[in-house]
Structure formats: C-alpha cells, structure tokens
Amino acid sequence: MGTSFKNKRSACFCLKARRLSATVTKFYDQELSPSGVTIGQFSVLLNIAKAENCSVSQLADLIELDKSTLTRNLKPLFAQGLVEDAKEPGSRNCQLLLTVDGQKTLALARLLWAEAQKKIQAKLGKSGQEALEIVINALKAE
C-alpha cells in the first residue's frame, strides 16, 4: 500500500514559514474583503497616506518592496480609483495620493484590520503571540 503524504509533516522550516505566511495572508484578505482591498493593498494605501505626495521609489523604500513589485501592486489601486498621481504637468516624478474613494476605503479597511488583529490575538493567546515574536526576532538576529 502507498504511503499517505497528507499525514507527513515537512521538516523544512522555510516551507513551514511559507505556509504560515500564506495562511495569515489568506486570513487577512478574507477579513478585509468587504473593503475591496487585500492586505497587501491595505499596506500600500496606509503607507501612501502616511507619506503624502511620495514617489514610487520613496514608497518602495518605505515599505521595503522593490520598485517593480510595488508598481504591479499599484496598478489595481489606480484602476479602482483609490490612488492618483498628483505630479505637476511635465514632471517625471510620480506624486502618489489617495483619492477621496481611497481615503474611504482605507478608513473601512483600518476598521476591518483592527478586528482581524483582535481575532488573531484571541486565536494565538498571549503565549502564542510571544512565541511568534521570539521566533521572528531569533531569525532576524545575526
């Protein structure tokens, strides 16, 4: 008889971390879905609001994404009318701003994110939250 792969757990920490990341991302995406944005888009909107009139390069540095990835993430936000480029005519540098709809979306997404945070905190409990921080800090240390 064949061995069932479903019950075998991987010893690879990278795979486990990727699964964790995908699980957490899916959870937040579901929680934020009434706002019409994903957790990644929420982060972009939040940082545009914080860094008013920033360029794509400045925003990429701020949120630690490479410029091409950020540009891909901005496209749906422009298409939804949540972000605009307020650069001066003839200027080459983008000046990212939230539109009125972007501000409304961000406000709703912030409320949904806060509720998602509470749910995660309840699921992990204090010891789980502390354990997660310990793991993150241990892996960041050199």
pLDDT tens, residue order, the chain (142 aa): 555 556 567 789 889 889 999 999 999 999 999 999 999 999 999 999 999 888 899 999 999 999 999 999 999 999 999 999 887 777 777 889 999 999 999 999 999 999 999 999 999 999 999 999 999 899 886 6
Q: Which residue has the tokens 């961000």?
A: 106
Domain presence at residue 48:
yes
Domains: count for the chain: 1
Domain that holds residue 59: 13-140
Please tell me the distance from the alpha carbon of residue 55 to that of residue 4, in angstroms, as a whole number: 51
Q: Say which CATH number the domain at 131 has.
A: 1.10.10.10
Q: Identify whether 1 is part of a domain.
A: no
Q: What are 105's two structure tokens?
A: 């979306």
Task: For residue 133, tell me if it sits in a domain.
Answer: yes
Residue 7 inside a domain? The answer is no
Supply the DSSP symbol for 34: G
Task: Answer whether residue 4 is part of any domain.
Answer: no
Does the residue 90 lie in any domain? Answer: yes
pTM: 0.84
Q: Considering the domain boundaries, does residue 5 fall inside one? A: no
pLDDT at 15: 92
What was the pLDDT predicted at 82? Answer: 98
Alpha-carbon span 130 to 97, nearest angstrom: 36
